[in-house]
Structure 1
Amino acid sequence: MPERTVVIASRTGLHARPAKLFVQAAAAQEVPVRIRVGDGRPVPANSMLAVLALGAVHGTEVTLDAEGPGAEAALDSLAGLLARDLDAEEASGG
């Protein structure tokens, strides 16, 4: 199963607006994607409550996984999103 490990770049971590953007992007993928912190239990990336419950703050390393056609592209897209500071982009109008 393909995986991507990425460090959360948003200053607020996966909370509020960054979490919402990530969950929406995960829900738009053609394959189900899961996210976990460390060796923790993977949770559905398209579930706001599950993503918030991870408690991923700025600098937390998370692992995404997916399986099926399009999994690699889905993981690349979502990992790229998490690697950006979505809080700074909002402040600059980005």
Structure 2
Amino acid sequence: FPGFKDYKKINRTILKVKNKWESFTRVSLDLNFIKKSQTIIFLIFGKEKANTLKNILYGEYDPLQFPAQYIIKDREIRKYIYADKYAAEYI
């Protein structure tokens, strides 16, 4: 998740993540585990996510802010992006 600096120090496959500004906890897979995949599918929906997708694909490389850049820039992983009409204009 954005701003999570210690992702390389984690030795667990499943992570519990809590953002300060949200009242709920998320469950995620460790980035190193995700990168072992042959194929990754991104589902992008909503105007807010459309701008994030634009930054991930065309913005400055800043994986601390946009962790998906670690995956998008990895040439060994096959990637598919499914987007709604708002995000589709950036694909």
TM-score between the two structures when normalised by the length of structure 2: 0.28
Higher RCO (C-alpha 8 Å, min separation 6): 1
Question: Of Structure 1 and Structure 2, which has the larger fraction of its residues in helix?
Answer: 1
Question: Of Structure 1 and Structure 2, which has the larger fraction of its residues in strand?
Answer: 2
TM-score between the two structures when normalised by the length of structure 1: 0.27
Pair member with larger Rg: 2
